[in-house]
Amino acid sequence: MKKAFLIITLIAGFGAATFAQDKAKTPEQRADHLTKALQKRLNLTADQAGKVHTIMFERATRVDSLKLNGAGGDKKMNRMVRRDIKYTTDQKLTAVLNADQLKAFKDWKATHKNKHGNKPAAQTDVKQG
């Protein structure tokens, strides 16, 4: 009985590990997901949705490239590149959105930031050790 339970547990464990690995989304899938979320929250037009998808796809591709290549293990450089990607994406989105949508987008970002507990930029540069 104990062996059967152990075998079932091992099989379930391997199944869960395999399922977790399948969750990695492609840049296209992430861009689709973000575009749909923004379209729902901001009431984007079809033209805006196409532009937002292009911006989000570029962002996802750049982030994937950074994850694969990195900056030779330099965490500070990776952080700087990520901030640049975020800033560039926000600037491009600002050009696409109207005033009401931009306000809603900024509110959504602030809520998202608070929800996930991001620290202010001044605290992220402090080395712990």
Rounded-to-integer distance, Cα 14 and Cα 19, Å: 9
129: helix, strand or coil: coil
Whether the per-residue pLDDT at 119 is higher than 90: the answer is no
Amino acid at 97: L
Contact partners, residue 94, CB within 8 Å, separation at least 6: 102
Whether the per-residue pLDDT at 121 is higher than 60: the answer is no
Q: What DSSP element (H or E) covers 55?
A: helix 46-69
Predicted local distance difference test score (pLDDT) of residue 111:
87
Predicted local distance difference test score (pLDDT) of residue 129:
40
Average pLDDT, the chain: 80
Q: Are the beta carbons of 38 and 44 closer than 8 angstroms?
A: yes
pLDDT, tens digit (0-9, with 9 covering 90-100), for 81-98: 899 999 999 999 999 999
